[in-house]
Amino acid sequence: MKRLTQMAGAVVTAPLGWLAALIDPPLRLWQRVAGQKGMVGFFLLPNMAIFGVFVLFPLVVNIAYSMTTGGALFLADREFVGGAQYARLLTCQNYLDIRTCQEDQFWTAVRNTGTFVVLQVTLLVICATATALILNRELRARGFWRAVFFFPVLLSPVVVGLIWRWILDRNGVLNAGLVGVGLDPVNWLLDRNFAFAAAIGVTIWAHLGFFALILLAGLQAIPRDLYEAAEMDGTRPARVFWRITLPLLMPNLLVVVVLALIRAVQVFDEAYVLTGGGPGTATLFLTQYIYEVGFASLLKNPGLAAAASILMGGVLVVLTLVQLALGRRNERRGKLK
Amino acid sequence: MRTKLTGATLAALLMSSTAMAGDVRMMWYSDGVEGEVMKDLVARFNAANPGINLILDEVAYKVVQEQLQIQLEAGDGPDIARVTNIKTLAPHWLDLTPHLSDADYWRTNFGAHADWMREDGSDAITGFMTQLTLTGGFANATLFEQAGVALPGAGATWDDWVNAADQVAKSQGTAAAFAIDRSGHRISGPNVSYGANYIGPDGMPLPVDDGVKAFAAKLVGWVEGGQMLKDTWVAASGSTYRAAADDFINAQIPFYYSGSWQIANLSTKIGDGFDWVATGSPCGTAGCSGLAGGAALVAVKYTKNAAEVAKVMEFFAQEDIVKEFSERTLFLPAHAGVAAKGGLDWQTDDPNVKGALDKFVAAAGEIEPGAAALPAWKWASAYYGAMVNRISQVMAGEMTLDEAYARIDSDIAEQVAAAK
C-alpha cells in the first residue's frame, strides 16, 4: 500500500518536476536581468501574449480588412480601397429615410439594434432589480426561487431560442393551447411588433437571473441597521427604496447597465434562432447583418462585414466610456456627501 | 534525461498534428440517405486500397455553405468535398487530368456538366456530379382526392396549380395552398418560364427583366392572398435558405415546389402517411422550365495527396458505383453511360418514388435554354441571393416591388464589384 502511494505520488509529481525544470532557467535569467520588480512583467507576459494573439492582432487585421475588397482571405491578395467600405455603409441621400441609404439593411439593423438596446436594457434592469428585491426578502424556499430565476442563464442561447420558437411557432405549444380552448391560432412570429417584443422578452428571460444575482449581492451588502433605523423612524417603504436602497445599490446597478448594454448591442444568437431576422427585416440586428454579409451569403463580402463590425465596436467603446464616466461622477458625488 | 523526455514529448505532439501520407479526407453532407450509402462505399474503398486511408467527414449542409469557402480561401480544407456552390468556388478545385488513368472516360461520361465545376475557359476535370437534380413540384394526392379536386394535368400553368391547391387548402383546412423553398435557385426556373433572362451577351448580369417581374409579382400576390405559406419566405431575413419540406410532410400544404433531391426525404418521412406525386414544373408564358443542378464531388487543389485523391475519385466515378449510388439514394445519375443504359433498379418499396423519378426524368426535357445556362454561370449566386433578400422584404410589407427591382439590380452590381 505504501509502495502504491509512493508510485501514485511519483506519477503526480514527476510532470510537475519536468514543468519546473522547463520554466526555471528562463525565470532565473529574467530575474537576473530585470531584477525583482521586473518579475511583474514576466508573469504578465503570458497574458499579454494571449491578449496580443487573440484580441489585439485580430483587431488590427479586422481594421486592415475593412479597408479592402474582394473575396480573397489573405490580406496580401485583397485590393486596398481605403475608406470605401465605410463610405458605402454610411452613405445616405437622406439620413431620415433609411430606404435612401446605399446599404439600407445596415441602417435597418442599426435602427433595430438601437431600439432593442433602449427597450431591452431598460426593461431588463427594472425586472432584474425587482427580482433581486423580491429574492432578498425572507421568502419561504428562498434558495429554490433563486435557482428558478437563475436556471435560464445555464442554458445555451441556441437552446433558449429553440425552446421559445417551439412555443411561439405557428405549430407551437402556445397555438396548440389556443386551439385547445377553442380560439384561432396566431402566427406570432410573422407579426413585426410581436416578433420584436418576443426577441426582447426572450433575451430578458434568458439573462435576468445573471443580472439579478449581481444586484442581489449588492442588496445583501447594504447594512441592515440602516433599514432598522428607517423602520424605527416610520419611513415609508417607497422612501426607503429611493433614499437608501437605490443610492447604495448604484455601483452594482452601474455594472449591470454596462454589461446589459454591451450584451444588448451584440444581440445575435437567441434572436437569430427565434426569428431569423424576420419577419422581413423586423428583427435584423447588427451582428446578424455582419454575419450575413461576411459569412452566410453565397457571395461573401468580408471587407464590408469588417467595416460594419469596426463601427459597431466603436459604438460599444463610446457607450462603455460614457457609462464609466457616469460611474466615476456618481462615486465622486457619493464621497463629497 | 530531462532533455530527452522533453524532446520526446515535443516530437509526439508534432506527430499528432501532422496528417499521415495517404490520408484523404472527404467533406460530405447529406440531404437524405446518401450519407449511409457513402459510408458503405468508403468502407469498401478502404478495404480494397490498403495504401490509402479515406476518411469521411460528415457535416451539416450549412458547414459546406458557410465554412468551406473560408477554409479554401485560406489554402486549406478537405481533400475532396461535396458541394452545391460549385461554380463560385471553381478556382479552388484541383485539375485531376494528369492524375487520372483514363481522362477520356471522364470527358465522355461527365463532360456535359464539367463546365459547372471549373473556371470559365478552362478544360480541367475537377470532379463529377454525384447526382443531377431538377427543381419541380410535389402534390399531396390524398388531399387533392379528399377535396375532390383533380390534379392539374400537363401544360397546367402556375395559376392553375395555385388555384387548384387553394381549393384543396380551403376544403381540407391546411395552413396554405402551397410553398416554394426560400431560395433564389428555386424561383429561377419559374422566372425563366415567364421569359426571364439573367445573363447578358458579355456574360455579366442583366437588370431584372419582365420575366422576373412577372413571377415575383405573382409570388408576392400569393403571399398577400394567403395562398403561399407566409412563414417560409417572411420569417427570415437576408439570403437565408429555408425549405418548406416539413410543411408538406406534415400535410400543411397540398402543393410544394422544391426539387428531385427531396424524393428520398419525402419517401422516408411520409412513408404510407399519404400518397404524393411529382408534378414537374408548372408553366409560365414562355415554358414549363425547372432548373437543373445538383451536388458535385470535387477535388480540392490544396491537397498534399493528389494521386491518392485521383484514385478515390476514380473509384466513385466508376459506372457500377455511380449506378449503385443512384439506385440506393434515389438520385438521378449524372453519368452519361448510366443514364443512356437506363434500367436503374431503384431501391425502394415506396410506390410513390418510381413515379416521381420518372416524372423528373421527363421534366428534364423541358428545361429552357435560359435555365440550362445558369448552373455554369459565375454570377448566379449573386442573382439568387439578391432576389430572395428583396422579394421577401416586399412580402413583409417593407418595400414595393418597384423598389425591390431597383435594389436587386444595385445589390447584384455591388456584389459583382466586390467579388472581382
Phi, psi at B120, each rounded to 5°: -55, 135
pLDDT tier, B4 (very low <50, low <70, confident <90, very high otherwise): very low
- Write the pLDDT tens digit of every residue in B16-74: 334 456 799 999 998 778 999 999 999 999 999 999 999 999 999 888 988 898 899 88
Does B237 lie at the interface with A, CB-CB under 8 angstroms? yes
In sequence order, what are the beta bridge partners of B81?
B27, B298
Confidence at residue A17, expressed as pLDDT on a 0 to 100 scale:
84
Question: Which of A67-81, A92-106, A323-337, B133-147 is the least confident region?
Answer: A323-337
Confidence at residue A19, expressed as pLDDT on a 0 to 100 scale:
85
pLDDT of A3 strictly over 80: no
Torsion angle in degrees (nearest 10) through CA of A79, A84, A86, A89:
-110
Does A74 lie at the interface with B, CB-CB under 8 angstroms? yes
Q: What is the nearest CA distance from A325 to chain B, expressed in angstroms?
A: 38
The set of residues, in sequence order, having a beta carbon less than 8 Å from that of A208 and lying 6+ positions away, is: A124, A127, A128, A131, A149, A152
Widest CA span in chain A: 84
Query: CA-to-CA distance for A108 and B404, rounded, in angstroms?
Result: 15
Confidence at residue A30, expressed as pLDDT on a 0 to 100 scale:
83
Confidence at residue A146, expressed as pLDDT on a 0 to 100 scale:
84
Confidence at residue B20, expressed as pLDDT on a 0 to 100 scale:
59
- How many Cβ contacts (< 8 angstroms) between chains A and B? 113
Nearest one of B203, B259, B191, B252 to B408, comparing CA atoms: B191
Q: What is the nearest CA distance from B87 to chain A, expressed in angstroms?
A: 11
Confidence at residue B70, expressed as pLDDT on a 0 to 100 scale:
86
Q: What is the nearest CA distance from B416 to chain A, expressed in angstroms?
A: 9
Residues of chain A positioned with their CB less than 8 A from the CB of B173: none
Query: CA-to-CA distance for A100 and A111, rounded, in angstroms?
Result: 14
Asked if B317 and B397 touch (Cβ cutoff 8 Å), the reply is no
Q: Can you give the three-state secondary structure of A122-135, one letter per residue?
A: HHHHHHHHHHHHHH
Q: Would you put residue B127 in left (φ > 0), alpha (ψ -120 to 50) or beta?
A: left
DSSP state at residue A56 = I
pLDDT tier, A32 (very low <50, low <70, confident <90, very high otherwise): confident
Query: CA-to-CA distance for B123 and A178, rounded, in angstroms?
Result: 61
pTM over 0.95: no
In this complex, the residue of B240, B242, B420 whose CB is nearest that of residue A296 is: B240
pLDDT tier, A297 (very low <50, low <70, confident <90, very high otherwise): confident
H-run or E-run covering A290: helix A286-291
State which of A65-79, B10-24, B319-333 shows the largest mean pLDDT.
B319-333
Confidence at residue B18, expressed as pLDDT on a 0 to 100 scale:
41
Residues of chain B positioned with their CB less than 8 A from the CB of A301: 415, 418-419
Q: What is the nearest CA distance from A264 to chain B, expressed in angstroms?
A: 20
SS3 B75: coil
Residues of chain B positioned with their CB less than 8 A from the CB of A179: none
On average, the pLDDT of chain A sits at: 89
pLDDT tier, B106 (very low <50, low <70, confident <90, very high otherwise): very high
Residues of chain A positioned with their CB less than 8 A from the CB of B403: 99
**What is the per-residue DSSP string for A79-119?**
EE-TTHHHHHHH-BS-TT-GGGBTTHHHHHHHHHHHHHHHH
Torsion angle in degrees (nearest 10) through CA of B235, B238, B240, B243:
40
Mean per-residue pLDDT for B234-238? 89
pLDDT of A286 strictly over 50: yes
More confident: A77 or B143? B143
Mean per-residue pLDDT for B295-315? 95
Does B108 lie at the interface with A, CB-CB under 8 angstroms? no
DSSP state at residue B283 = B
Torsion angle in degrees (nearest 10) through CA of B1, B6, B7, B11:
140
Does B82 lie at the interface with A, CB-CB under 8 angstroms? no
Confidence at residue A337, expressed as pLDDT on a 0 to 100 scale:
52
In this complex, the residue of B74, B384, B417 whose CB is nearest that of residue A73 is: B74
Mean per-residue pLDDT for A125-151? 89
Per the CB < 8 Å rule, is B85 touching A298? yes
In this complex, the residue of A170, A276, A280 whose CB is nearest that of residue B393 is: A280
Query: CA-to-CA distance for A239 and A226, rounded, in angstroms?
Result: 13
> How far is C-alpha B122 from the chain's CA centre?
23
Does A61 lie at the interface with B, CB-CB under 8 angstroms? no
Percent of chain B with pLDDT over 90: 72
pLDDT of A159 strictly over 50: yes
pLDDT of B347 strictly over 80: yes
Question: Which of B79-83, B313-317, B378-382 is the least confident region?
Answer: B378-382
- CA distance to A77, A221, A314, A323, per residue, from A327 (Å): 46, 19, 20, 6
Confidence at residue B14, expressed as pLDDT on a 0 to 100 scale:
41
Mean per-residue pLDDT for A166-182? 92
- CA distance to A273, B60, B174, B194, per residue, from B160 (Å): 36, 37, 18, 15
Asked if A306 and A66 touch (Cβ cutoff 8 Å), the reply is yes
Closest residue, chain A, to B91 (C-alpha)? A72
State which of A320-329, B201-210, B327-336 shows the largest mean pLDDT.
B201-210
Mean per-residue pLDDT for A272-276? 93
In this complex, the residue of A21, A277, A283 whose CB is nearest that of residue B2 is: A21
Does B404 lie at the interface with A, CB-CB under 8 angstroms? no
SS3 B255: strand
Percent of chain B with pLDDT over 70: 95
Does B131 lie at the interface with A, CB-CB under 8 angstroms? no
pLDDT of B97 strictly over 90: yes
Residues of chain B positioned with their CB less than 8 A from the CB of A288: 237-238
Residues of chain B positioned with their CB less than 8 A from the CB of A279: 234-235, 396
Residue numbers of B between 249 and 278 with CB closer than 8 Å to A: 250, 252
Confidence at residue B325, expressed as pLDDT on a 0 to 100 scale:
95
Confidence at residue A221, expressed as pLDDT on a 0 to 100 scale:
92
> How far is C-alpha B351 from the chain's CA centre?
24
Confidence at residue B13, expressed as pLDDT on a 0 to 100 scale:
40
Model ipTM value: 0.81
Does B407 lie at the interface with A, CB-CB under 8 angstroms? yes
Phi, psi at B21, each rounded to 5°: -60, 135
Per the CB < 8 Å rule, is B238 touching A284? yes
pLDDT of B166 strictly over 80: yes
H-run or E-run covering B140: strand B127-140
Confidence at residue A91, expressed as pLDDT on a 0 to 100 scale:
93
Confidence at residue B17, expressed as pLDDT on a 0 to 100 scale:
38
Per the CB < 8 Å rule, is A280 touching B395? yes
Confidence at residue A1, expressed as pLDDT on a 0 to 100 scale:
65
Closest residue, chain B, to A190 (C-alpha)? B235
pLDDT of B11 strictly over 50: no
Mean per-residue pLDDT for B115-141? 94
Per the CB < 8 Å rule, is A170 touching B231? yes
Per the CB < 8 Å rule, is B73 touching A74? yes
Confidence at residue B15, expressed as pLDDT on a 0 to 100 scale:
41
Does A275 lie at the interface with B, CB-CB under 8 angstroms? yes
pLDDT of B2 strictly over 50: no
- CA distance to A2, B230, B258, B337, per residue, from B244 (Å): 68, 10, 8, 34
DSSP state at residue B151 = P
Query: CA-to-CA distance for B74 and B227, rounded, in angstroms?
Result: 45
- CA distance to A186, B48, B95, B152, B312, per residue, from B316 (Å): 50, 13, 17, 40, 7
In this complex, the residue of A105, A171, A278 whose CB is nearest that of residue B236 is: A278
Confidence at residue B12, expressed as pLDDT on a 0 to 100 scale:
41
Does B415 lie at the interface with A, CB-CB under 8 angstroms? yes
pLDDT of B82 strictly over 90: yes
- CA distance to A13, A18, A20, A24, per residue, from B1 (Å): 16, 10, 15, 16
Query: CA-to-CA distance for B279 and B266, rounded, in angstroms?
Result: 14
Asked if B363 and B134 touch (Cβ cutoff 8 Å), the reply is yes
Asked if B322 and B338 touch (Cβ cutoff 8 Å), the reply is yes
Confidence at residue B205, expressed as pLDDT on a 0 to 100 scale:
96
Mean per-residue pLDDT for B363-388? 90
pLDDT tier, A70 (very low <50, low <70, confident <90, very high otherwise): confident
Query: CA-to-CA distance for B9 and B411, rounded, in angstroms?
Result: 54
Confidence at residue B21, expressed as pLDDT on a 0 to 100 scale:
60
Q: What is the nearest CA distance from B406 to chain A, expressed in angstroms?
A: 12
pLDDT tier, A334 (very low <50, low <70, confident <90, very high otherwise): low
Confidence at residue B281, expressed as pLDDT on a 0 to 100 scale:
95
Q: What is the nearest CA distance from A36 to chain B, expressed in angstroms?
A: 28
